[in-house]
Amino acid sequence: MRSLRFAAFGDPEQVLHLDEIPKPTPGPGQALIRMRVRPINPSDVLTIAGLYGAHRELPSTPGYEGMGVVESVGDGVTGWAPGRRVIPWTDSGTWQEWVVAEAQRLLPVPDSVPDSSAAQFVVNPLTAWVMIVEDLQVPPGGWLLQTAAGSTLGRVALQIAKERGIKTINVVRRRAQVEEIRALGGDEVICTEDEELVSLVDEITQGEGVRWAIDAVSGQTGSDVSRTLAIGGVMLVYGVLSFAPITLDPSQLLFKASTVRGFWLSRWFQQTPREHQRSTMATVMNLMASGKIVPPVDSEYDLADFKEAVHRAQSPGLRGKILLTG
């Protein structure tokens, strides 16, 4: 079978290669999944570069999520008929034609959810939901500030906010993104290309600041967002797109009792009881099935065209996720 693999950490365009390896066989309690669609996420690129929070043993196949169909099952597995569309939770890497996953870690995909949406279920919709609804618990009518609003997660966050009556302040880097984010339902949009973030947030919130913020950029943008926090405000850092550190003002933390902390979905999976995980995932999947959450797609590439796909995934101006098919 075709499998994208890397034997050294580095630039994905340089270290990735397409190999032919034996097709796996499911063991007891497992299912063999023929993968159809796999997204390219920043976490995948960071993993290949050796910069992610969890290192893989080399050689390795990247990919933390995707969608496929059940081809066969091992001994003791019931309820998963061949042809059933599923999302596998597996650490074996999804950027290949077949993967083996524990049957108890398969998530069924409703008929109304397209392959392209199901493939993106975990990293963006689930992350956005857990941050906004479960962690920050932003109430209807509250202001949520988000950076990287034009990203896939940013666009999904807008959909969640609309569904729950949350107002959003959306930070983008390029002027060309402003009207697009407004058209998607963003209440306020700040462009750091030519606008000053802190003063505009102060104006929008009438001097109160924001109680809830999520940041994927870090660096100067993340530092500025931390300065906009209201008394008791909380900022979750879930990305490092700028690869630069955040500078915190100690007086902000001291006199406003604000909080800046990280969020990593992998940690949520490690610390959250399995039943609660399943309940949360069912809620998010139902929103996708009803069309209230639709992760955007920029373009699709066959596995053989991985260099073009990875290059596009790291280019500015994306309107959605890059997907690997085949």
Closest C-alpha to 9, from 43, 80, 60: 60
Spatial distance between the Cα atoms of 229 and 171, rounded to a whole number of angstroms: 15
Spatial distance between the Cα atoms of 198 and 89, rounded to a whole number of angstroms: 40
Preceding omega of 59 cis (within 30 degrees of 0): yes
Handedness of CA 115, 116, 119, 120 (dihedral sign): negative
Helices and strands counted in the chain (H then E)? 12, 15
State the CB neighbour count (10 A cutoff) for residue 242: 17
Token duo for residue 73: 């099952």
Token duo for residue 59: 């050689």
Q: What is the set of active-site residues? A: 52
Closest C-alpha to 41, from 282, 321, 325: 321
Q: Is 85 strand, coil or helix?
A: strand
Beta bridge partners of 234: 212, 259
